[in-house]
């Protein structure tokens, strides 16, 4: 193999609950600190201890953020998954295993290099206690990789010192395990491999952060004061992050009182109810949930839509249907998010592409929810929410003033002859609202039953329709307020890719690869629903549009056909729904299967559109 410096992928197969997470983070961060862009993805089971887990680290000098689809180095630490782990290594790649015991089945392939290190033996000889030996075995492989890949051991030492600042003895024992592996590899294997790292200067001004942390931080900065939730993977860490930041940043230094309320609800029904109650009463309140929780929240989301109560909801999408695979990723709540609840309901949805956008969209979500007096759903996913992504430093504008929307002050209410809650005074479909406790003239009755534009109960058809039609106008207004689609459009090209959320990184890389095949495609990344005119125009301008999504049914494609004038036949789905994050390879193969790079003539399928399904 020729040298591949700073451009390869490692996958580490372990058993969960054995400390491998620390070792993997250590490896990834030490590469990051050497100035080399890196991607880390955790494929973990819905379990606390004893089931297979994998961690994929991609070293990427070109700063791609998605999986390539290929594994160059496999660290096979879990006998249970040896067979599939061996299969997954790309030809010419490497497999590292614990050679304490003979593993003849690992030697089944002659197109890869198998390297044995007696990790268990080394740790048994040097550490005491069963648990310690297991934990240290996993740190030990990090040492082996450090030697093989030419990682900076000082970076590793520095990271350990930060992690265990309060327990210096743990720095020593961990370093001992690192050194054991490192020295063994140096003495017994050819180090470094042709796949190795070499310092770059590409990570300055960047951080490694997961989307749930970024969103939780965003809630603190955007001024959210009430967080209500019910624990559900993979959204829980968003609430944990909010609590942890707020405990530090939101405690009044003089009184020790907390400028926030954090409520663990009895279920998701209550969590969203609390969020509505708090927003209705003038606080910025939010919840985070995932598929099953979103299903439970439907009834209240309908009330919020119809009674016009702001709310911010983070849906960290996971694999469905039903309980599905709670620790795997998908984009499978797109239609549910857009149309949650019975009756004619529509919701503003934002589709962040990465943790950075989670942070900024959190701020935007609160502004939009209060401006539009309606729920805003931030449609993140497990890949964004729980994996560390390299992002530019998050910035905060100290001049930011929250948009609290059309809330009447005490003086404004006093001057009114009469307050009408649901009247379209400004012609934008957005009525004025009042908060409790301000002025008796501002009092009104919030209800999910039929109401007139003046706020009174009604069963009169005409009165009912006036309000329902205004809600439609309000949703139309939303089109110009929500984040615009990110569009790269060369008018000479009539093939395009449409994607959203966590598929963005894979699409960007795929376009580069397709470019090297002589095929260029325009690109539109949807960032929000409802769709604006820019989305309509982009779709109209292309003969063939690949819609890349991480679900089985092409939900965004459906939404586009329902909500725009686009001709269905032009939209071709590329659907990845294995539960693993989408790879660039999947998109490249999907596009090439339909479009020949030589002729660049897509074979346009008339009438019913063909969908190419299947996972990578």
Partner 1 sequence: MTFLPKPKVRHPSLPKNSLGLTRRDYEGGLSTLCAGCGHDSITAALIEATWGLDIEPQNMVKLSGIGCSSKTTAYFVSGGHGFNSVHGRMPSIAMGANAANRDLIYVGVSGDGDTLSIGLGQFCHAIRRNLNMAYIIENNGVYGLTKGQFSASADVGTRAKKGEVNQQPPIDPVLLALTLGATFVARSFSGDKQQLVPLIQAAMRHKGFALIDVLSPCVTFNDHEGSTKSYQYTREHYDAAVNVDFVPFQKEISADYAAGDVLPVVLHDGSRILLRKLDASYDPTDRAAASMAIQEHLKKGEFLTGLLHVDTNGKEFHEVNETPSIPLNQIPHDRLSPGSATLAKVLARYR
Q: Which of residues 223-262 bind partner 1 (CB under 8 A)?
A: 223, 225-226, 228, 245, 249-250, 252, 255-262
* Interacting residues with partner 1 between 187 and 226 (CB under 8 A): 207-209, 213, 217, 220-223, 225-226
In this complex, which beta carbon is closest to partner 1, that of residue 444 or of residue 534?
Answer: 444
Nearer to partner 1, 304 or 316 (CB): 304
Q: How far is CA 564 from CA 90, 335, 495, 530, in A?
A: 42, 15, 18, 10
Give the phi and the psi of residue 52 in degrees, each rounded to 5: -65, 145
Instruction: Give the range of 369-377, 440-448, 506-514, 603-611 binding partner 1 by CB under 8 A.
Output: 440-448
Alpha carbons within 13 A on the beta-carbon side of 60 = 21
Choice from 102, 104, 427, 440 touching partner 1 (CB under 8 A):
440
Among the listed ranges 12-20, 110-118, 315-323, 449-457, the one in contact with partner 1 (CB under 8 A) is 449-457
> What is the H or E stretch that residue 264 is in?
strand 261-264
CB of 433 to partner 1, least distance (A): 10
Q: Looking at 18-26, 277-285, 328-336, 607-615, which segment touches partner 1 (CB under 8 A)?
A: 277-285
* Number of other residues whose CB lies within 10 A of the CB of residue 267: 12
- Choices 17-25, 282-290, 500-508, 567-575; region in contact with partner 1 by CB under 8 A: 282-290
- Residue list 20-39, contact with partner 1 (CB under 8 A): 32-33
Question: Which residue from 126, 179, 188, 446 is in contact with partner 1, where contact means CB under 8 A?
Answer: 446
For residue 562, give Cα distances in angstroms to 9, 108, 322, 535, 555. Answer: 40, 51, 25, 13, 10
Site for partner 1 in 381-410 (CB under 8 A): 393-398, 400-402
* Identity of the residue, 141 or 280, whose beta carbon is nearer to partner 1 in the bound complex: 280
Nearer Cβ to partner 1 (115/274) = 274
Question: CB 423 → partner 1: shortest distance, Å?
Answer: 17
How many residues bind to partner 1 according to rule CB under 8 A? 76
The residue assigned the tokens 């071709």 is 572
Signed CA dihedral, 380, 386, 387, 388: sign only: positive
Q: For residue 429, give the nearest of 397, 466, 394, 456 by alpha carbon.
A: 466
Out of 69, 192, 234, 273, name the contact with partner 1 by CB under 8 A. Answer: 273
Q: Which is nearer to partner 1, 319 or 391 (CB)?
A: 391
Q: How far is the CB of 241 from partner 1 (least distance, A)?
A: 11
The whole-angstrom separation of Cα 366 and Cα 429 is: 19
CA–CA separation, 193 vs 272, rounded Å?
A: 53
Q: How far is the CB of 32 from partner 1 (least distance, A)?
A: 8
Which is nearer to partner 1, 256 or 491 (by Cβ)?
Answer: 256
Instruction: Give φ, ψ of 335 to 5 degrees.
Output: -70, -40
Main-chain dihedrals φ then ψ at residue 602, nearest 5 degrees = -70, 145
Of 298 and 502, nearer to partner 1 (C-beta) is: 298
Distances (CA, A) of 472 to 84, 224, 305, 448, 477: 52, 28, 11, 17, 9
Query: Kind and range of the H or E element at 534?
Result: helix 533-540
Whichever of 182 and 366 has its CB closer to partner 1, that residue is 366
Q: Out of 265, 423, 513, 592, which residue is the one contacting partner 1 (CB under 8 A)?
A: 265
Tell which positions 290-349 bind partner 1, by CB under 8 A. Answer: 299-300, 303
Q: How far is the CB of 435 from partner 1 (least distance, A)?
A: 7
Q: Closer to partner 1 at the Cβ: 59 or 535?
A: 59
Q: With respect to partner 1, which residue has the nearer C-beta, 101 or 400? A: 400
Residue 232: Cβ-neighbour burial (10 angstroms; 0-12, 13-18, 19+): buried
**363 burial level (CB within 10 Å; 0-12, 13-18, 19+):** buried
Q: Does 282 bind partner 1 (CB under 8 A)?
A: yes
Query: How are beta strands 522-526 and 495-500 bridged, if at all?
Result: parallel
Beta-carbon-side half-sphere exposure of residue 80 (alpha carbons within 13 Å): 9
Q: Which of 57, 180, 238, 276 binds partner 1 (CB under 8 A)?
A: 276
**Under rule CB under 8 A, residue 270 binds partner 1:** yes
- Position among 41, 318, 353, 439 found at the interface with partner 1 (CB under 8 A): 439
Q: C-alpha angle 532/537/542, rounded to 5°?
A: 135
With respect to partner 1, which residue has the nearer C-beta, 464 or 489?
Answer: 464
The CA distance from 178 to 174, in Å, is 6
Q: Which of 79, 153, 416, 456 binds partner 1 (CB under 8 A)?
A: 456
Q: Shortest Cβ distance from residue 25 to partner 1 (Å)?
A: 12
Assess contact for 235 and 265: CB atoms under 8 A. Answer: no
């Amino acid at each position: 193999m020729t040298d591949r410096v700073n451009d390869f992928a490692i996958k580490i197969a372990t058993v969960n609950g054995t400390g491998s997470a620390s070792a993997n983070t250590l490896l990834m961060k030490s590469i990051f600190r050497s100035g080399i862009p890196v991607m880390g993805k955790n494929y973990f089971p819905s379990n606390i201890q004893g089931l297979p887990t994998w961690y994929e680290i991609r070293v990427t000098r070109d700063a791609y953020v998605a999986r390539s689809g290929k594994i160059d180095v496999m660290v096979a630490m879990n006998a249970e998954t040896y067979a599939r782990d061996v299969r997954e290594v790309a030809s010419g790649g490497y497999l590292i295993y614990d050679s304490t015991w003979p593993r003849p089945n690992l030697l089944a392939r002659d197109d890869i290099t198998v390297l044995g290190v007696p990790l268990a033996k080394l740790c048994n000889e040097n550490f005491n206690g069963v648990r310690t030996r297991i934990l240290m075995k996993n740190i030990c492989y990090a040492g082996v990789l450090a030697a093989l890949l030419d990682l900076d051991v000082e970076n590793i030492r520095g990271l350990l010192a930060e992690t265990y600042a309060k327990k210096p003895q743990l720095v020593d024992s961990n370093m001992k395990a690192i050194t054991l592996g490192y020295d063994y590899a140096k003495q017994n294997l050819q180090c470094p491999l042709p796949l190795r790292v070499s310092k770059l200067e590409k990570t300055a001004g960047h951080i490694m952060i997961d989307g749930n942390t970024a969103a939780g931080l965003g809630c603190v900065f955007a001024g959210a004061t009430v967080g209500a939730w019910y624990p559900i993977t993979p959204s829980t860490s968003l609430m944990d992050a909010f609590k942890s930041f707020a405990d530090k940043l939101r405690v009044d230094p003089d009184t020790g009182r907390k400028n926030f309320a954090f409520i663990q609800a009895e279920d998701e029904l209550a969590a969203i109810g609390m969020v509505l109650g708090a927003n209705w009463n003038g606080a910025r309140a939010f919840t985070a949930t995932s598929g099953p929780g979103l299903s439970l929240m439907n009834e209240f989301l309908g009330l919020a839509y119809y009674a016009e109560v702001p709310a911010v909801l983070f849906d960290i999408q996971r694999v469905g249907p039903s309980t599905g695979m709670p620790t795997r990723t998908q984009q499978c709540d797109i239609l549910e998010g857009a149309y949650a609840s019975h009756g004619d309901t529509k919701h503003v949805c934002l589709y962040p592409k990465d943790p950075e956008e989670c942070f900024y969209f959190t701020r935007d979500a609160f502004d939009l929810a209060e401006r539009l007096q309606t729920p805003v759903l931030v449609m993140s996913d497990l890949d964004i929410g729980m994996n560390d992504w390299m992002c530019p430093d998050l910035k905060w504008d100290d001049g930011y003033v929250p948009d609290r929307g059309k809330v009447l002050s005490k003086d404004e209410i006093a001057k009114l002859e009469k307050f009408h809650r649901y009247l379209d005074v400004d012609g934008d479909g957005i009525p004025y609202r009042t908060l409790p406790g301000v002025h008796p003239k501002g009092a009104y009755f919030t209800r999910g039953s039929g109401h007139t534009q003046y706020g009174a109960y009604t069963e009169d058809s005409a009165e009912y329709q006036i309000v329902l039609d205004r809600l439609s106008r309000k949703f139309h207004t939303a089109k110009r307020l929500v984040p615009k689609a990110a569009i790269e459009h060369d008018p000479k090209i009539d093939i395009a890719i449409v994607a959203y959320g966590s598929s963005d990184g894979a699409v960007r890389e795929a376009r580069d690869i397709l470019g090297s095949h002589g095929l260029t495609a325009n690109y539109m990344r949807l960032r929000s629903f409802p769709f604006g005119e820019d989305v309509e125009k982009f779709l109209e301008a292309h003969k063939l549009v690949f819609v890349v999504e991480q679900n089985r049914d092409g939900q965004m494609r459906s939404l586009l056909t329902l909500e725009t004038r686009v001709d269905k036949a032009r939209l071709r789905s590329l659907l990845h729904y294995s539960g693993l994050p989408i790879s660039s390879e999947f998109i490249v193969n999907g596009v090439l299967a339909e479009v020949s790079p030589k002729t660049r003539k897509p074979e346009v399928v008339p009438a019913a559109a063909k969908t190419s399904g299947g996972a990578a």
